[in-house]
Amino acid sequence: MLRKLLSEKAGIRNRYDAKRYLRTPEGKVLIDEAFTSVLTLIFQYDVELIEDATSSGIVQSYAVRYGLMPRDAQIVATCVMNGIKR
C-alpha cells in the first residue's frame, strides 16, 4: 500500500527516494494514510491477525534448511507455527 501511495502521490519509484521522502512531514502523513487503509480493510473483513515467529533460532533453522533470506524464513516459520500449510 505504501509503495503504491508513494508512486501515485509523490511520483517516487525507488527505495532510496522513498526513505528520504518518508522522513518529511508529507511522508509521515502518507505513512499514516497507508496504515489507516490497511487497518480499515483488516477490520472491515474481520481478518484474523496471527503472531509472527520472532525467535531468531527458529528463523535461522528455516533459513539454513531451505536456503532462504531471513525475512522469507520468518514467514515460513510463522506459517508453520500457526498451522498454515498453504
pLDDT at 66 over 90: yes
- 62 near 55, Cβ under 8 Å? no
Ordered by start, the domain boundaries in the chain are 2-44, 50-86
Looking at residue 35, what is its pLDDT? 95
Q: List the Cα angle 22/38/26 in 5-degree steps.
A: 25
Read off the pLDDT of residues 15-64 as tens digits, 9 standing for 90 and up: 999 999 999 999 999 999 999 999 999 999 999 999 899 888 999 999 99
Q: How far apart are CA 71 and CA 61, in angstroms?
A: 13
Amino acid residing at 5: L
Q: How far apart are CA 40 and CA 46, in angstroms?
A: 10
Looking at residue 27, what is its pLDDT? 95
pLDDT at 65 over 90: yes
pLDDT at 86 over 90: no
- 13 near 35, Cβ under 8 Å? no
**pTM tops 0.95:** no
Looking at residue 37, what is its pLDDT? 95
The predicted model gives 58-77 an average pLDDT of: 95
